[in-house]
Amino acid sequence: MGKLRKRMLTALAGVVAVTGLLSACGGGSGGSTGSGGSGGDKITMGFAQVGAESGWRTANTKSIQESATSAGITLKFSDAQQKQANQIQAIRSYIQQRVDVIAFSPVVESGWDPVLQEAKAAKIPVILTDRAVDSKDTSLYATFLGSDFIKEGEKAGEWLVKDAGSKPTNVVEISGTTGSAPALDRAEGFRNATKASPNIKIIASQTGDFTRAGGKQVMEAFLKAHKDIDVLYAHNDDEGLGAIEAIKAAGLTPGKDIKIITVDAVHDGMQALADGEINYIVECNPLLGPQLMDLAKQVVDGQSIPKRVETKETTFDQAQAKEALPSRQY
């Protein structure tokens, strides 16, 4: 815990920043080729989604499905219900069906090498979407499209360092799915940013599995065990929203008695921020569909693509949330 993990991905050259939010549906973002097809044949993509655990995931699924339609890509879609075994099974079935390209958002980081080797042997390119794997052999996938979760954790920690000043501050953390890239990295980034402030102490940390129910349950336990909680850092909005229910049920005021920092900036989170129940949100953009379809076309066409495509993101305080809410797509 706490020590820097050497990430293969960060070592890779050619990081390209592309604004997913700004790329119009079906428009060519980040690549020089627009809708280059593969000789008129319709591309078939097999997509193995993590599940439907959060508002973020719902927006992400919608973006992928809508972008496939507008890009003219046939999409085979599966929901793994947050289970790696289900994702592996789905990927194996896409290999058997000989799809043109496989994309998936790996629920956890480890344990993918065997199935990725099977895809490679079948000469089917794989695009990692949203979450990374820890495979040492980076030839097992064509590219990784998604956020920099360490940066997200750092942004959360930087806000707290400023807000807390020199005040003694006890933090509880509700982390994401154990072993997932965003949970590992958001924890690491937050610690990077707060470690030089001895007044900030993480007094408890437990997973809420990125769900509202999980966030509520963990917060209830935290409130029973600790009388002196100043701040909650939740790895996503849904966990934070669940925790708010537990805080209210304990007779405390979220956003005041306990300050709350979350990640994602989905609609319900932004509403809670505008209402003063959450204090700060670090954005994580779920609208990866248009970029994913562009990359899929390029890779099926045999073009070379960057090994890492990073989504651009921002942060929101209360005033910024109020301003952004009316035009928020998710």
Residues that bind ligand GYE (CB under 6 A): 53-54, 56-57, 130-131, 182, 210, 236, 263-264, 284
Pick 46 or 182: Cβ nearer ligand GYE: 182
- Could you give the dihedral angle defined by the CA atoms of residues 232, 234, 267 and 250, in that order, rounded to the nearest 10 degrees? -50
Which CB sits closer to ligand GYE, 88 or 164? 88
Are residues 189 and 151 in contact, defined by beta-carbon separation less than 8 angstroms? yes
Could you tell me the smallest distance in angstroms from the CB atom of residue 174 to ligand GYE?
12
3-state secondary structure 190-242: HHHHHCCCCCEEEEEEEECCCCHHHHHHHHHHHHHHCCCCCEEEECCHHHHHH
84 vs 56: CA distance, rounded Å: 19
Handedness of CA 167, 172, 173, 174 (dihedral sign): negative
Q: How far is the CB of 6 from ligand GYE (least distance, A)?
A: 21
CB of 232 to ligand GYE, least distance (A): 16
Tally of CB atoms within 10 A around 42: 10
Q: Which is nearer to ligand GYE, 64 or 164 (CB)?
A: 64
Least CB distance to ligand GYE at residue 74 (A) = 25
Of 149 and 222, CB closest to ligand GYE:
149
Nearest distance, CB of residue 176 and ligand GYE, angstroms: 6
Closer to ligand GYE by CB, 124 or 159: give it: 159
